[in-house]
Amino acid sequence: MAQTVVVGDEHAHGEQGLHEPKSFLTRYIWSQDHKVIAIQYSITAIAVGLIALVLSWLMRMQIGFPSSLAFIDQDRYLQFVTMHGMIMVIYLLTALFLGGFGNYLIPLMIGARDMVFPYVNMLSYWTYLLSVLVLVASFFVPGGPTGAGWTLYPPQAILPGTPGQEWGIILMLVSLVIFVAAFTMGGLNYVTTVLQARTRGMTMMRLPLTVWSIFTSTILGLLAFPALFVSGVMMLLDRVLTTSFFMPTVVSMGQQLDHAGGSPLLFQHLFWFFGHPEVYIVALPAFGVVSDLISTHARKNIFGYRMMVWAILAIGVLSFIVWAHHMYVSGMNPYFGFFFATTTLIIAVPTAIKVYNWVLTLWEGDIHLTVPMLFALAFILTFVAGGMSGLFLGNVVVDVPLSDTYFVVAHFHMVMGVAPVLAVFGGMYHWYPKVTGRLLNDTLGKIHFWVTFLGTYAIYFPMHYLGFVGMPRRYYDLSGISAIPHSAQTLNAFITVVALVVGAAQALFLLNLVWSAFRGKPAGSNPWRATTLEWQTPETPPGHGNWGPRQPIVYRWAYDYSVPGAPEDFLPQNHPPERSGVSGAGADVRHGGH
């Protein structure tokens, strides 16, 4: 057996030496421990997400009850729209899934002691915090934050007349460029850790789907964020040095500007080459988390594990060749639409495979309706509803009339807003006991779940109808537009009321997070009786270095649930075959690496 040990058991920190925290400051503030960095990422992302939540309230107030809040004028409204979108997509969801979940779960789930380069990992968080601070600073500069819409389309994004044209847009672009740097530092770590720092026995095909999905979405990020970086740099130059990358000849306010000859379409191509993979950067981790939650709480092995892995990879590859379906009305060559509609519809195939496999995992399962499971089930329902409307929008002829209406707003909020957020909640209820050692309160959790799930349906489902009647998005005031029936206003008021309630219900969740950290029921090391390695740590919460003296050895895949003859109906991944009886070893042969 000795010859199998390539670099020794302590390979995982053999190259660098594990950095031992010596004081409060290095343990909790300038920490290089992936678990602390994950918590820092999560808290920052949630904090900035709360800003975006409040902004959505204010927007809804204006739409539902026009001019009831005097301080919301047209410019403010557009600024709220922009900042809400940008924060939710990038600074909340991307950071929370990859910086938060990815940082916490990758090393624990693959049996490593930390990320491969903990110092770079720490740097990633502080750079991310800097980008958040620059972003938030734009609320306080003259002219306020940019109101260009989260897509920041030029030429309007940098022209006079768009709110935040003076400073807001500059800070937004600088913040994005910094964010890309932060993400790259973290992302390189996640990918290298998964590829090169797994523990003994942990083959790629034994990775839990959470790791597979975060791994793939990080690769997407490393290849897609460059396009955002480049377009950000170029627009900054357009704005600050009056270059004309994206700026055609423009007459603005009666004057011809200094710009000439640039290509606004180029920005859209760059932006969506980033923007579409970005959808999957936040959706794939949700897929992975939900797969693991469903399997654990239905006490069944995931249906079609290999198919799930290949579906994740196929979605990842396809996500790079569908970007122009966001641009059917942009004036690009109409023949492009045919190609991009085709690829867009093809991407529905691996996605549907995943949904069927989730359902088949539930089939005849021993379903425990715990709070994480409720969120996982809600994710499937919301994601399917949102994905279906994606089939409408992926077709050029259907998309053209629906473009820039509330149908689009409904679609992307369900599919990449609410659905990933539900997976985030499910994941938090699921892994909180590992992070803190205590369970979240069940009653508060169930109230939170039902209000959030039913509420978001009540918010976004009616928006499809608003889109059909032609209600345009990003309009500050719809009164006096005769094409929109009066009933639309009633519906808008209803949506606003629900949105206020759902937003307020999130306070329950925050309260639960804080209260349970001190008063919650002690969870023990494995409250959900889960198989994956993070639940098998010697300490809960896991100590520095995660595994005590010896790293775990993996003998089986991550989904040995309801194993006949197993003492507790499941077999952890590090459970050696000879102690588990015949069925355990059999399970290993059936589902293991081959």
Partner 1 sequence: MAQQDMLGTAEGVALTGEPGGTADGWQGMVTDWSADRQAFREVPWGKAMMWIFLLSDTFIFGCFLTSYMTVRISTTVPWPNPSEVFALTIGGAHIPLILIAIMTFILISSSGTMAMAVNFAYRRDRVRTTTLMLTTAALGASFVGMQAFEWTKLIVDEGVRPWGNPFGAAQFGSTFFMITGFHGGHVTVGVIYLSIVALKVLRGDYERTGNYQIVEIAGLYWHFVDLVWVFIFAFFYLW
Footprint on this chain of partner 1 (rule: CB under 8 A): 1, 3-4, 6, 11, 15, 116-117, 184, 187-189, 191-192, 195-206, 222-227, 229-231, 233-234, 237, 241-245, 258, 260-263, 266, 269-270, 273, 553-555, 576-578, 585, 588-589, 592-594
Least gap, CB of 202 to partner 1 (angstroms): 5
Q: Rounded distance, CA 131 to CA 355, Å?
A: 35
Torsion sign (Cα): 53, 54, 58, 61: positive
Closest separation between CB of residue 332 and partner 1, Å? 12
Between 165 and 189, CB nearer to partner 1: 189
Select 143 or 576, whichever has its Cβ closest to partner 1.
576
In 485-562, alpha helices (H): 486-519
Our CB check for partner 1 shows the closer of 11 and 464 to be 11
Q: How far is the CB of 92 from partner 1 (least distance, A)?
A: 23
Over its C-alpha atoms, the chain yields an Rg (Å, rounded) of 24
> Which H/E stretch holds residue 583?
helix 581-591
Spell out the alpha helix ranges (H) of 363-418. Answer: 371-394, 396-402, 406-412
CB 134 to partner 1: min, Å: 20
- With b for 16 or more beta-carbon neighbours within 10 A and e for fewer, the 489-510 pattern comes to bebbeebbebbbebbebbebbe
With a CB cutoff of 8 Å and minimum separation 6, the contacts of 475 are none
Asked if 204 and 594 touch (Cβ cutoff 8 Å), the reply is no
Smallest distance from partner 1 to CB 204, Å: 6
Q: Which is nearer to partner 1, 226 or 472 (CB)?
A: 226
Residue 518 Cβ vs partner 1, minimum distance, rounded to whole Å: 38
Residue 439, token pair as written in the block: 């369970």
Shortest distance in whole angstroms from residue 519 CB to partner 1: 41
* Shortest distance, position 586 Cβ to partner 1, whole Å: 11
Nearer to partner 1, 184 or 351 (CB): 184
The least CB distance from residue 110 to partner 1, in Å, is 9
Q: Which is nearer to partner 1, 486 or 594 (CB)?
A: 594
- Distance of closest approach, residue 207 Cβ to partner 1, in angstroms: 11
Decide whether 258 or 539 has the Cβ nearer to partner 1.
258
Residue 81 belongs to what H/E stretch? helix 74-86
- Buried b / exposed e along 113-134 (16+ C-beta atoms within 10 A): bbbbbbebbbbbbebbbbbbeb
Q: Determine the Cα–Cα distance for residues 39 and 189; give it in Å rounded to an integer.
A: 17
408 phi and psi angles, rounded to 5 deg: -65, -45
φ, ψ for residue 69, nearest 5 deg: -105, 110
Write out the two tokens for 320: 């790079």
CB 230 within 8 Å of CB 270:
yes
The H or E element spanning position 252 is: strand 251-252
Our CB check for partner 1 shows the closer of 43 and 240 to be: 240
Assign 256 to helix, strand or coil: strand
Output b/e per residue, 453-474; b: 16+ Cβ within 10 A: bebbbbbbebbbebbeebbbbe
Cβ 160 to partner 1 shortest distance, Å: 17
Cβ proximity of 376 and 298 under 8 Å: no
The answer to whether the beta carbons of residues 547 and 588 sit under 8 Å apart is no
Looking at beta carbons only, is 222 or 398 nearer to partner 1? 222
Pick between residue 104 and residue 245 the one whose CB is nearest to partner 1: 245
**Residues whose CB is less than 8 angstroms from the CB of residue 113 and which lie 6 or more positions away in sequence, other chains included:** 12, 13, 18, 107, 545, 546, 547, 551
Cβ 273 to partner 1 shortest distance, Å: 8
Residues in the chain: 594
3-state secondary structure of 43: helix
Query: Among residues 56 and 268, whose Cβ is nearest to partner 1?
Result: 268
Which is nearer to partner 1, 177 or 424 (by Cβ)? 177
> By the 8 A CB rule, do 88 and 176 touch?
no
Q: How far is the CB of 15 from partner 1 (least distance, A)?
A: 6
For residue 290, give the nearest of 418, 440, 422, 105 by alpha carbon. Answer: 422
Nearest to partner 1 of 522, 593 (CB atom): 593
